[in-house]
Amino acid sequence: MPKLKTHKGAESRFHVTGGGKLMRTKCGKSHLRRKKAPRTKRLYDEMIPASSADKKRVKRLLPYK
C-alpha cells in the first residue's frame, strides 16, 4: 500500500485535539477587521469544533492526524 499524501490546505485549516476532536478556525478573520469591536475580534481567535457532517470528508484529507 503506498503512502497517502496529506492535503496541505486542510492541514492548515483543521487541527485534531488529543481527544480526537476536529477543530476549525472561524471565517472572516483575515481582513476588514479594523472596523470591528475588540470583543468581536477576540471571538475570531478561538477554534471551534468542526461539523459532524464534515468529519468523514476531512479525515480522508488528513490520513495521519
Give the domain ranges of the chain. Answer: 19-27+34-65
Q: Predicted confidence band at 65 (pLDDT cuts at 50, 70, 90)?
A: confident
Q: Predicted confidence band at 28 (pLDDT cuts at 50, 70, 90)?
A: confident
Percentage of the chain exceeding pLDDT 70: 100
Q: Name, in order, each residue with C-beta under 8 angstroms of 65's C-beta and a sequence gap of 6 or more.
A: 6, 11, 14, 16, 59
Q: Is the pTM of this model over 0.85?
A: no
Q: Predicted confidence band at 49 (pLDDT cuts at 50, 70, 90)?
A: very high
- pLDDT of res. 29: 81
